[in-house]
């Protein structure tokens, strides 16, 4: 047989999956690894999908997605952030934010174009850039700044091949939240060098201190920003695979071309559920956010008591404790913790080389599991001394 694509053949698999393939074969493991809410999708949202099925709504939708959903999203963004997107040609319903990111990169990039990405970052960012023929240029978000990138480092990475800057706050894996001043400086750099901005704001409703700043609301950003968001995290709808992209009409229209040839449309029952989530799901969303905030304090306190330095994350549902004091690499720490004490976490290196020395721990799990995991981690760390 002739060889398959060299790009795909040589591309490494996700660093997150290695540990979960092992975990799936073990008993009594407490997992702090999966970035997925432990809450069941609220009943009112599930009921909307059930009612949709009972009414026989099982067809394709427009490639753009249900117009009603796009209108609801447009009204929501205007009310929440003051952003005005035409629902008919500037909002596209995607199969999760992951598809939205893939479509964005394939639409924006020509071969060799560069995208500046801050690390540590979500595992798919570099892959989406490189599989679209671009080059991912990474800039470290340093621990000393609580993992918020220094805009000066972004500007230093700009070349004549730079096409876009990818921004993602609140951050996966660190839980970092950028303030308005930092984001404005990033936007100013994009304006100065005529760059696109891709802003993944999937955790925008999971902020615990202060308010979320949406990038396209900043001066000069709206006309050059592709905003990606969805329902997985804030509404506990990961398996529904429903997201959206909003941005400049010409960009979104061309993203839709790729979408219509590859994905056609997001599932209609998930789209109907998403309408209910936006229209009537605010209380459920806020109840979950408050519970994550409580868990955040418990897990950070536990890491500090175990002797592991851990900054207080401002958003999302991840802690990113430092394990350098143990003398182990982040991968060694996670392997020993899993096999010896049955706690699953993700090495920081899964999110880029500069994640070394840290591990990602999700607190999207019950307080009881968090307490059990922390007790095991304390015993593990104490045993290393």
Q: What is the pLDDT of residue 142?
A: 95
Burial 144-157 (b: 16+ CB within 10 A, else e): eebbbbbbeebbeb
User: Sheet containing 225-230: which strands, arranged edge to edge?
Assistant: 91-94, 243-246, 225-230, 196-200, 162-167, 114-119, 135-140
Please identify, among 281, 309, 340, the residue that sits at the C-terminal boundary of a domain.
281
In a domain, 202, yes or no: yes
DSSP symbol at 46: H
Residues 72-118 have pLDDT tens digits of: 999 999 999 999 999 999 999 999 999 999 999 999 999 999 999 99
For the chain, the domain total comes to: 2
Q: Give residue for tokens 């621990």.
A: 143
Do 176 and 30 sit in the same domain of this protein?
no
**CA 110 vs CA 106, 133, 299: distances in Å:** 8, 7, 43
Question: DSSP 3-state assignment of 159?
Answer: coil
Partners of 30 in beta bridges: 343
Question: Which H or E run includes 94?
Answer: strand 91-94
Do 277 and 287 sit in the same domain of this protein?
no
8 A C-beta contact, residue 57 and residue 272: yes
8 A C-beta contact, residue 45 and residue 276: yes
Q: What is the pLDDT of residue 19?
A: 67
Do 142 and 226 sit in the same domain of this protein?
yes
- Host domain of residue 257: 57-281
What residue spans of the chain are helical by DSSP H?
6-9, 17-23, 43-54, 67-81, 96-108, 124-131, 151-157, 180-193, 249-262, 268-280, 282-305, 330-341, 367-383
Do 235 and 298 sit in the same domain of this protein?
no
Instruction: Supply the CATH number for residue 152's domain.
Output: 3.40.640.10
Do 187 and 226 sit in the same domain of this protein?
yes
Please identify, among 222, 248, 281, the residue that sits at the C-terminal boundary of a domain.
281
Dist CA 214 CA 246 (whole Å): 12
Three-state SS for 287-327 is: HHHHHHHHHHHHHHHHHHHCCCCCCCCCECCEECCECHHHC
The structure's pTM equals 0.95
Please identify, among 257, 281, 305, the residue that sits at the C-terminal boundary of a domain.
281
Do 141 and 271 sit in the same domain of this protein?
yes
Do 199 and 253 sit in the same domain of this protein?
yes
Tell me the pLDDT of the chain (385 aa) as tens digits.
Answer: 888 888 887 788 776 766 677 777 777 899 998 888 999 999 999 999 999 999 999 999 999 999 999 999 999 999 999 999 999 999 999 999 999 999 999 999 999 999 999 999 999 999 999 999 999 999 999 999 999 999 999 999 999 999 999 999 999 999 999 999 999 999 999 999 999 999 999 999 999 998 999 999 999 999 999 999 999 999 999 999 999 999 999 999 999 999 999 999 999 999 999 999 999 999 999 999 999 999 999 999 999 999 999 999 999 999 999 999 999 999 999 999 999 999 999 999 999 999 999 999 999 999 999 999 999 999 999 999 7
In a domain, 49, yes or no: no
Do 70 and 152 sit in the same domain of this protein?
yes
Question: Which has the closest alpha carbon to 322: 353, 361, 359, 296?
Answer: 359
In a domain, 48, yes or no: no
Q: Give residue for tokens 């001043």.
A: 181
Do 124 and 182 sit in the same domain of this protein?
yes
């Amino acid at each position: 047989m002739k060889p398959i694509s060299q790009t795909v053949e040589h591309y490494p698999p996700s660093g997150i999956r290695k540990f979960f393939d092992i975990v799936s074969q073990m008993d009594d493991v407490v997992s702090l690894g999966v970035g997925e809410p432990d809450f069941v999708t609220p009943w009112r949202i599930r009921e909307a999908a059930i009612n949709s099925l009972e009414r026989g709504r099982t067809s394709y939708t427009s490639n753009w997605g249900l117009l009603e959903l796009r209108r609801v999203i447009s009204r929501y963004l205007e009310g929440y952030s003051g952003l005005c997107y035409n629902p008919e040609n500037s909002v596209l319903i995607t199969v999760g934010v992951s598809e939205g990111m893939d479509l964005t990169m394939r639409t924006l990039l020509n071969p060799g174009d560069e995208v500046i990405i801050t690390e540590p970052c979500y595992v798919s960012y570099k892959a989406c850039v490189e599989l679209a023929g671009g080059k991912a240029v990474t800039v470290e978000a340093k621990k000393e700044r609580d993992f918020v990138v220094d805009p000066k480092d972004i500007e230093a990475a700009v070349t004549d091949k730079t096409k876009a800057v990818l921004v993602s706050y609140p951050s996966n894996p660190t839980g970092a939240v950028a303030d308005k001043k930092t984001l404005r400086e990033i936007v100013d750099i994009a304006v100065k060098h005529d760059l696109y901005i891709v802003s993944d704001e999937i955790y925008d409703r999971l902020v615990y201190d202060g308010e979320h700043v949406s990038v396209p609301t900043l001066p000069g950003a709206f006309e050059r920003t592709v905003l990606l968001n969805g329902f997985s995290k804030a509404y506990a709808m990961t398996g529904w695979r429903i997201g959206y992209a909003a941005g400049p009409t010409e960009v979104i229209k061309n993203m839709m071309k790729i979408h219509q040839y590859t994905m056609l449309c997001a599932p209609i029952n998930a789209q109907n559920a998403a309408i209910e989530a936006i229209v009537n799901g605010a209380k459920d969303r806020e109840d979950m956010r408050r519970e994550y905030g409580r868990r955040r304090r418990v897990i950070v306190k536990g890491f500090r008591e175990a002797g592991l330095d851990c900054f207080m994350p401002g958003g999302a549902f991840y802690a990113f404790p430092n394990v350098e004091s143990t003398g182990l690499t982040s991968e060694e720490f996670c392997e020993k913790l899993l096999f010896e004490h049955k706690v699953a976490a993700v090495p920081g290196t899964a999110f880029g080389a500069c994640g070394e020395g840290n591990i990602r721990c999700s607190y999207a799990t019950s307080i009881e599991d968090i307490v059990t995991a922390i007790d095991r981690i304390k015993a593990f760390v104490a045993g290393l001394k």
